Amino acid sequence: MLLFNLQYFCCNAKKGNLVRHFNTMHGKYKNDYPLNSTERKQKLYELKCGLIAQRNIFLKPQNQSRSATIASFIVSHKIAVKCKPFSDGEFIKSVLEEIAYPLFENFKSKVEIKKAILDLQLSRNTVMRRIEKSRQNVTEQLQIGIDQCVTFSLQIDESTDVSDTAQLIVFIRMITNDFTSKDFKERVTLMKLPLFKLVSITSDGAAAMTGRNNGFIALCKQDDDFPDFLSYHCIIHQQILASKRLNIKDVMDTTFKIVNSIRGKPLQRRLFKMQNENKEVDLILHTDVRWLSRSRFLQRFRDLLDDIVQFLEDRGDSFPQMRDVNWLCDLAFLADFTGHLSDLNLKLQGKYIIIVDLINCISAFKANALILIRDLEKKNLQRFSNLEDHTRKYPNVVFDSKKFNDFKKLEDVIPFISFPFKEDLNTQMTAKKAAVVSN
């Protein structure tokens, strides 16, 4: 077929026709290139290369066009995600054209690179169509998922965009089939993951993960294909559970209500900024789902405390807590302590953090927490900058270390955080403490 190079013979490959054509048109080929000879192999290789080159002549423009379209979709997606104008596509293309000359001057394929950039379609209308196509595709995928799912649930939240326009956000979560240990095992087999090397599994501690009989960990341990492995409760989740022992509801409810009345309403937010136009001020919204955001939330609230009080008085709102010295003392203390917890959480995260680092961080925090407790008992506030500032502002306030008993409650809970790795810890006592923290 390579020798004949005729579409007719490729479609109607009858032996008699092939033999007759070969003897008539290529009779010398048999003598010039004997069977099984090096010359014949070389000739065959050249013919194959020629055929591939011919195909590429027709396929190359098609591949280039497809690559340009994919690149156009990628840029359009980035523009949509960053909420940039559609016309930015033309700006991006013009920048690429200008930097192509100095950047690819020494490249052998510089001509092809420059041509590919010129072929890139990023006009305003094209970007708009690309984004619309992407939206339609996502909608179709969502519709297919809804049609195929067994059950689904909705999560609804009100949010504001960059222009402070309120918008309703609806999240849908679908279940097509339960992702059990069997499904996990199938994926592991597909990925050719050597299960015999497994030494531990860490989960978030939810019942679906750690259930005694039907939990994911339990089902894996019951499977004979899984080796004996250790199971851990995520140390960051444990740290957050322990942190919830603090009694901060009164402070958080009041601050959240005040900030929501200012930051959550566009008009009030603009008025607050106008009142403090000479300062770079803005309040931080807080959601109880992200517990660790309380540190920044409380710290910013306290930094702007005087401005907030003045704004509320001008508006005619009454919050007696803002003049209550004891409440302000609690606010200062919690701003300091949540800062310590946030610092710990950041140390527990990271790509190259190993279990030894986690143990060291928790052990160091435990020792530091005991020192902080003793400092409070001795009225040493060097590590509590907000609380120290509060006592300076109100020197006549009676400092009672019993006020911070909530902090001391953590003294019994802290060992639970490192429970999976400590052998000298009383299991029953730890379980009771864990139950108290969870509740």
Which residue from 87, 139, 138, 97 is spatially nearest to 117, judged by alpha carbons?
97
Strand partners, 156: 170
The phi and psi torsions of 2 (rounded to 5 degrees) equal -60, -40
Query: How many residues does the structure list for the chain?
Result: 439
What's the pLDDT at 58?
58
Cβ 338 vs Cβ 291: under 8 Å: no
Query: Quick one: how far is CA 378 from the chain centroid?
Result: 43
Across residues 228-257, what is the average pLDDT? Answer: 69
Give, in degrees to the nearest 5, the angle at Cα 249 between 244 and 252: 100
Average pLDDT, the chain: 72
142-146, 207-211, 387-391, 420-424 — most confident range:
142-146
Query: Quick one: how far is CA 123 from the chain centroid?
Result: 31
Residue 37 has pLDDT above 50, yes or no: yes
Higher pLDDT, 221 or 438: 221
When pLDDT is cut at 50, 70 and 90, the band that residue 131 belongs to is very high
State the DSSP code for 332: H
Residue 233 has pLDDT above 80, yes or no: no
What's the pLDDT at 127?
93
Residue 197 has pLDDT above 50, yes or no: yes
Tokens 């050719």, located at residue = 192
What's the pLDDT at 406?
47
- Alpha-carbon distance of 405 to 205, in angstroms, equals 28
When pLDDT is cut at 50, 70 and 90, the band that residue 244 belongs to is low
What's the pLDDT at 132?
93
pLDDT digit string (tens) for 335-362? Answer: 887 788 778 777 877 767 776 777 788 7
What's the pLDDT at 326?
81
What's the pLDDT at 91?
93
Share of the chain above pLDDT 90, in %: 8
106-115, 180-189, 376-385 — most confident range:
106-115
Residue ranges of domains in the chain: 1-27, 41-122, 149-233, 241-437
- Alpha-carbon distance of 102 to 92, in angstroms, equals 17
Cβ 217 vs Cβ 189: under 8 Å: no
State the DSSP code for 265: S
What's the pLDDT at 247?
59
| Residue 381 buriedness (CB in 10 A; 0-12 / 13-18 / 19+) | buried
pLDDT digit string (tens) for 274-288? Answer: 555 545 555 554 444
- Positive/negative CA dihedral, 335, 337, 340, 344: negative
Cβ 380 vs Cβ 388: under 8 Å: no
Residue 168 has pLDDT above 80, yes or no: no
| Residue 47 buriedness (CB in 10 A; 0-12 / 13-18 / 19+) | middle
The least confident of 78-82, 138-142, 174-178 is 174-178
DSSP class per residue in 334-393: HHHHHHHHHHHHHHH--TT--HHHHHHHHHHHHHHHHHHHHHHHTT--TT-HHHHHHHHH
pTM of the shown model: 0.41
The least confident of 36-45, 135-144, 413-422 is 413-422
